[in-house]
Amino acid sequence: MPDFPTLETPRLWLRQTTEADAEAIFSLFLDPQVTQFHDLDTFMHLDQARAVIERRKIGFKGDRGIRWAIALKLHNNLIGSCGFTWDRTASQAEVGYELAREFWRQGILLEALSAIFSYGFEVENLQSIVAEVMVDNLASKQLLKKQAFKARGY
C-alpha cells in the first residue's frame, strides 16, 4: 500500500484527512449551503464527521479513491476537500470537492483541482476525469469550465 501523497500549491496543503480534522469536517457539513449540492444530508452530530474520515481512509486503503483535505498553508486547518473515485478499468476517475463557504470565490478550488488533476494524469496515468454536477450548481459548472471540462448532458 503506497503512502498517502501530500500535494502542495502556492497557498495550499492537500493532505490526508486525520481524526484532528473531525471538528472542521463537522462544521463544513453543518452548513446547508455546502451540502445542498452534495449527496449527503447536513450533519447533525460529530460522529458523522468521524465516519467521513473513516470512509476516506478505507477508500484509499482499498484503492477505491483518494480524498485530500484542503488546508491553507497559513494554519493547516481543513477548509474543504477534493479527490477522486477511481474507475481503474477505464483509466478514469470522477472528481468531487467541497469548500467552506467563507472561502468560496477565492480561487482555492481552482488551485486545488489543478494540483490533483496533474497528480491524476501524471502519477495515476488517468485518461480522463469526469464530474457529475447538479443542474442548479452554477458555481461548480463555472469552476469545471475553467478546468476545460466539457458538458455531456443531463
pLDDT, tens digit, for every residue of 65-98?
A: 999 999 999 999 999 999 999 999 999 999 999 9
CA distance 61 to 98: 22
**pTM of the entire predicted model:** 0.92
Q: What is the mean pLDDT of the chain?
A: 93
Q: Is the pLDDT of residue 138 over 90?
A: no
Instruction: Please compute the mean of the pLDDT values over residues 14-21 and round it to a whole number.
Output: 97
Say if CB 133 and CB 154 are below 8 A apart. no
Q: Is the pLDDT of residue 64 over 70?
A: yes
Say if CB 77 and CB 23 are below 8 A apart. no
* Residue among 33, 46, 36 at smallest CA distance from 102: 33
- pLDDT tens-digit profile of 20-37? 999 999 999 999 999 988
Q: Could you tell me the domains of the chain?
A: 7-146 (3.40.630.30)
Sign for the pseudo-dihedral over CA of 41, 43, 49, 50: negative
* Strands annotated E in the chain: 7-8, 12-16, 65-72, 78-87, 92-99, 128-130
* Residue among 16, 87, 92, 86 at smallest CA distance from 52: 16
Instruction: Label residue 6 by pLDDT band (50, 70, 90).
Output: very high
The angle subtended at Cα 83 by Cα 142 and Cα 54, nearest 5°, is: 135
Edge-to-edge strand ranges of the sheet holding 78-87: 7-8, 12-16, 65-72, 78-87, 92-99, 128-130
Give me the pLDDT at residue 25, please. 97
Instruction: Please compute the mean of the pLDDT values over residues 128-154 and round it to a whole number.
Output: 83
